[in-house]
Amino acid sequence: MRRSQLPDEDYGYEEASENPMFTRLRKAIEESYDHLRPFRENRETFIKEYVGGHYGRAHHSRPNNLIYNFIRIMKRHLAPNNPMAKVDTFIRSQKPAASSFEQALNYQIKDMYLKDPIQLTIVDALCAMGIVKVGLNYSDSVEIGGIHHDVSEPFAESVEFEDFVWDTNAKTVEQCKFMGNRYPMTIEDIEDCGLFDDDDIDKIRQYKVTKGDNNGETQTNFLTTQNTGDLSIFKDTVLLWDVWLPRENVVITYVDGCDFILREVEWHGVETGPYHLLGFDKVPGNIMPVPPVAQLYDLHMIVNTLTVKSANQAKRQKTVTAVGSGSDDDAKRLVEASDGHAIKMQHVDNISEINMGGVAPGNMQVIGIFSDLFSKNAGNLDTLAGLDTGAETLGQEQMLAAKSSEQVRDMADEVVRFVGSIIKAIGFYLWDDPLVDIPIRKTVEGIPGLEISSRFDHLTKVGGFEDYGLDVNPYSLQSRTPAEETNTVVRLISEVYLPLAEMAMQQGVQIDVAKLWSNLGDDLNLPSLSEVIIADVPLTEKEMPNKDRPKQAAHTKREHVRHNATPRKSNETFTELANAMPEKANA
């Protein structure tokens, strides 16, 4: 086992239990973890609201769950798909190698299904802060944090914020002296993975987890496990901490509650470390970001409190008939009479209908006002969801959606930066792996459309990793339906290719019309299109139709008319409903 590289060089690994620097580090980690308690508690509250009142052990009424809608829509807008990498280089001779590297990297990303940890992290970032841990396994297949990782393959997994710690005394990420996360690992897997000494494995058995508590704190899995604090554990398990020390460039591993370092290795990866962080709004002088849900929580609670109140008022509403003394016979005849029948009454003046309870019209107006405020503060959520645009045409609808997207563009840019850092880390391991072997396809220069099968391996690499720029293609994170993709292709053909068609044909670039029809039929779900339009033997130049047909006039006149349309407000529905209700004295 290598010698410890903690700042105190007088203490090696064998003396780690007496290492005062490790003792100070553990104390700093515990204090920082305690500083993060309010953020963990707020996150727990927000997630409870997100899942609603009918998930697991949750018991609270949220008939109008605005936070659930917000998170669903943001996930859809920020990262609905598996990301795709783009690799480039300024060295012209290495352009083909960059293309091969890009294909291999995208193959690896697809194989890892990176979309899943990214979407989990986005939910965490909306409620607190998102963390993805990227690393490389150096052992056989092993389970870490409940997830199995293959040998010598990079992994990217979402780290729950409740399991994360970083230096809360720092004001920026760059000033952090440590950051890490904890995770459960069975003693059986610790023995099998080959990363730890046998003597140390015997020492840590006394630290096995026997209860499901968390130092008095609840965890988000309480919604499923009931958080009884006395959970049965199938196999002997311990809680491990991985802590990255940026200045020392080492990662240490120790058991929660243990007073010695279990393992220490030099960090091998991108310079930003194993942890990739996602936070949407930074706070000057503070390391923790502001989660968007924190700004929407109060409005969500007001709307649901008034909605539940209005529902209870509606349940209490009833209509009764009051009958004065001495009119018993009239009351009996009135009760027994069918709707629309005429009956004889002796004392009509002693009978009256009384309405009791009912929804206060003012409550409905307030619900509409606060719902509209929530939508606006969330980035015009109704328009983002396509629920309430107020547009009369498709063009107006697209313009409104684009304007609404501007309000969440900062969030999207932050996600692109975040995903780009993950892709760079994965690409580092892919490039660094001497045994990498991934199938790719290469084009044959001078023969358009011809591709041959090839491999990305150590022979394909040219230059060094630093010669290439790795980033995420931001458009790969956007969601498009097949119909939207088809419209984009048709628009590009009409607006870009056709004006340059003559020049394109001179360079050997042409449209495969048969393939275009086939794709249109598939994307638009029109199988009959292949029956209507068939591909046959191409016509010769002599067989081509007469080209002397009327052409479009050289000069045309177009008139653009702009109409201003006032969008319909989402709270107008509540106002109209409230106006239709009878006046009520008390809310």
Any domain includes 574: no
Any domain includes 249: no
CB-based contact 454:100 (threshold 8 Å): yes
Q: Is residue 123 scored above 90 in pLDDT? A: yes
295 CB contacts (<8 Å, ≥6 apart)? 377
How many Å apart are CA 421 and CA 159, to the nearest integer? 16
Structure tokens given for 299: 């409005």
* Tokens 């990262």, residue located: 79
Which residues are 254's β-sheet partners?
241
Any domain includes 526: yes
Any domain includes 518: yes
> Which pLDDT value is given to residue 220?
66
Q: Is residue 481 scored above 50 in pLDDT? A: yes
Any domain includes 578: no
> Helices 409-432 & 95-112, crossing angle to 10 degrees?
110
In whole angstroms, what separates CA 551 from the centre of its chain? 51
How many Å apart are CA 11 and CA 200, to the nearest integer? 17
394 CB contacts (<8 Å, ≥6 apart)? none
How many Å apart are CA 13 and CA 21, to the nearest integer? 12
Any domain includes 487: yes
How many Å apart are CA 368 and CA 574, to the nearest integer? 5
In this structure, of 237-241, 372-376, 521-525, the range with the lowest mean pLDDT score is 521-525
Count the domains in the chain.
Answer: 1
Coil, helix or strand at residue 123: helix
Q: What is the pLDDT of residues 292-318, one digit of tens each?
A: 999 999 999 999 999 999 999 888 888
Q: For all residues of the chain together, what is the average pLDDT? A: 79
pTM: 0.77
> Which pLDDT value is given to residue 449?
62
CB-based contact 480:488 (threshold 8 Å): yes
> Which pLDDT value is given to residue 275?
97
Q: Among residues 139, 178, 186, 183, which one has the least CA distance to residue 158? A: 183
> Which pLDDT value is given to residue 399?
52
Cα-flanking dihedrals φ and ψ of residue 436, to 5°? -60, 140
> Which pLDDT value is given to residue 541?
59
pLDDT band at 9 (very low <50, low <70, confident <90, very high): very low
Q: Is residue 413 scored above 60 in pLDDT? A: yes
> Which pLDDT value is given to residue 587?
43
> Which pLDDT value is given to residue 30?
94
How many Å apart are CA 189 and CA 137, to the nearest integer? 14
Q: What is the pLDDT of residues 497-544, one digit of tens each?
A: 788 888 877 777 778 777 777 777 776 777 776 667 766 656 555 555
In whole angstroms, what separates CA 38 from the centre of its chain? 23
How many Å apart are CA 133 and CA 130, to the nearest integer? 10
Cα-flanking dihedrals φ and ψ of residue 577, to 5°? -65, -40
Any domain includes 525: yes
Q: Is residue 8 scored above 50 in pLDDT? A: no
Distance (Å) of CA 288 to CA 26, 38, 105, 176, 271: 21, 11, 32, 12, 21
The percent of residues in the chain predicted with pLDDT above 90, rounded, is: 32
Distance (Å) of CA 383 to CA 1, 240, 264, 388: 59, 45, 51, 6
How many Å apart are CA 432 and CA 127, to the nearest integer? 36
Sign of the Cα pseudo-torsion (507, 511, 515, 520, in order): positive
Q: Residue 1, Cβ neighbours under 10 Å: how many?
A: 16
156-184 per-residue burial string, b: 16 or more CB within 10 A, e: under 16: bbbbbbbbbbbbbebeebeebebbbbbbb
The percent of residues in the chain predicted with pLDDT above 70, rounded, is: 73
CB-based contact 529:516 (threshold 8 Å): no
In this structure, of 48-62, 201-215, 372-386, the range with the lowest mean pLDDT score is 201-215
In the sheet that holds 275-278, the strands lie side by side as 154-159, 130-136, 275-278
Q: Residue 56, Cβ neighbours under 10 Å: how many?
A: 13
Any domain includes 488: yes
Distance (Å) of CA 520 to CA 483, 489, 501, 511, 513: 9, 10, 21, 14, 10
CB-based contact 278:131 (threshold 8 Å): yes
Cα torsion at 148, 152, 156, 162 (round to 10°)? 60
> Which pLDDT value is given to residue 5?
46
Q: What is the domain range of residue 521?
A: 482-532
How many Å apart are CA 362 and CA 578, to the nearest integer? 7
Q: Is residue 406 scored above 50 in pLDDT? A: yes
Q: Residue 20, Cβ neighbours under 10 Å: how many?
A: 11
CB-based contact 70:378 (threshold 8 Å): yes
